[in-house]
Amino acid sequence: MISELAPLAPGVSDELRAAVQRRFETTLSELVSLASIPGIAWEAFDASELERSAKAVAELAAAAGLEGVEILRAPRPDGQPGGPAVVARRPPQPGKPTVLLYAHHDVQPPGDPALWESEPFVPEERGGRLYGRGTADDKAGVMVHLAAWHAVSETLGDAAGVGVTLFVEGEEEHGSPSFRAFLETYRERLAADVIVVADSANWAIGVPALTTSLRGLVDATVSVSVLTHSVHSGVFGGPILDAPTILARLIATLHDDEGNVAIPGLVVAADPDVDYPEDQYRSDAGVLDGVRLAGSGSVAARLWARPALSVIGIDVPSVAVASNTIQASARAKISMRLAPGQDPDAAMEALRHHVEANVPFGARVEFTPGERGSAYRADTDSPAARLALDALREAWGTDPVQMGMGGSIPFVADLKEVFPDAEVLITGVEDPDSRAHSANESLHLGEFERCIVAEALLLAALGSAEG
């Protein structure tokens, strides 16, 4: 816990900003090298590239002057080893706090190469942005931590005071299956007064944000069957509906006519104070002209304070191989985001009950639960949060937004459970056009530099505080 705050010495802010600027081209070069490694934690991809990514992060951490650099693992629930994580430290001066700096080095698969305007793993700078898989999510987060520490150590040396523990995970995009075991196994190495999670986004280019709430997550696979085997649609069509049609009718019950999630019993949180104009949302999300937005209430409330449900995959024959056949079975993967305050186990059971109660025409249905993660709400009156907001304000020259995030970072709840006295700050390098997880992912380089300055200011300010 942070007990006492003290202002930075005169001139330190300017010195930190200058240190970030002097090294920025080197930082950018290091990011390009790191983002060139296709480290993907999914079993279908080359595991050696994930190892290479971890080793590259470890080398960068050592070059930044951090000590005891290790590549560590913990077992997943199925007993298999988890992804390689990098841990490195710089001990605090007596009486000073320790900050855990979290990011992840694994990335999403690139997806359809035809959708990319440049090679996913050959980062390319265009128009002030760096394009490539992982340039924003989350190898830029790794580099913000390292570059900020470079600036602080160069400017303040031992006078920095603050202790730093770097924790760069290697399987976040695969759902962090070994995360809780990793925290339990290496609890003493990771213990900290403040935890900075660099895996979120800012409000807009030129406007920073501190993420103060996250939605939770559950997902499940729903399979429907109507026949023991597929049959000729001419000979048997009419009395029986095919499984894709049954599945479509079931999916249609998941929302009401306005597009609100129609599953009874789900939590709805209080509406946020921040407004997200509809025209800005439509532009940020790339909504086509004429498409009506779903749901009721403000856009910010629909994004951050209410459940949302998407069908993220369907298994049926593709059009390219379609035949005149009544399909016996079909399945879909359903992903549901949860409002803060929602218990994910209760949400999973609500989804299961709805699916089983609404399958049409007596079709056979199988519900297979998947991932689940808790929502999060921050205490923005905490000392560390106040320091973070001040650092963002100074780095950008404008007031930061305290924003919710429609996405989920389930491991934040694990961090709070294992380290209940630590203050968690969620920051990020993305902007509304970063397109994380999508083709043409990119990083705005001006915002990247300001993120580094803000974290350097935060670390220096924490070094002036009492732990």
* pLDDT category of residue 378 using cuts at 50, 70 and 90: confident
Residue 399 among the catalytic residues: no
**Cα end-to-end distance, the chain, whole Å:** 6
Residue 106 among the catalytic residues: yes
134 pLDDT more than 60: yes
* pLDDT category of residue 175 using cuts at 50, 70 and 90: confident
Cβ proximity of 342 and 267 under 8 Å: yes
Among 30, 106, 414, 449, which one carries the catalytic annotation?
106
235 pLDDT more than 60: yes
377 pLDDT more than 90: no
467 pLDDT more than 90: no
* pLDDT category of residue 371 using cuts at 50, 70 and 90: confident
State residue 1's pLDDT score.
Answer: 61
407 or 441, higher pLDDT: 441
d(CA 121, CA 30): 14
Average pLDDT taken over every residue of the chain: 94
* Single pTM value for the model: 0.85
Q: Please state the rounded mean pLDDT for residues 395-409.
A: 90
State residue 450's pLDDT score.
Answer: 98
| Contacts made by residues 117-123, CB under 8 angstroms, sequence distance 24+ | 117/440, 118/440, 120/38, 120/439, 120/441, 121/35, 121/36, 121/37, 121/38, 122/36, 123/31, 123/32, 123/35, 123/36
* pLDDT category of residue 10 using cuts at 50, 70 and 90: confident
7 pLDDT more than 80: no
pLDDT in tens, 71-96: 999 999 989 999 999 999 999 999 99
365 pLDDT more than 70: yes
State residue 3's pLDDT score.
Answer: 59
State residue 408's pLDDT score.
Answer: 78
State residue 464's pLDDT score.
Answer: 84
Among 30, 169, 171, 172, which one carries the catalytic annotation?
172
State residue 262's pLDDT score.
Answer: 98
Q: Report which secondary-structure segment, H or E, holds 359.
A: none
108 pLDDT more than 60: yes
64 pLDDT more than 70: yes
Place of tokens 């498409």: 291
State residue 420's pLDDT score.
Answer: 94
Cβ proximity of 329 and 243 under 8 Å: yes
Q: Where are the alpha helices (DSSP H) in 36-82?
A: 47-63
d(CA 44, CA 315): 18
Cβ proximity of 47 and 34 under 8 Å: no
State residue 375's pLDDT score.
Answer: 86
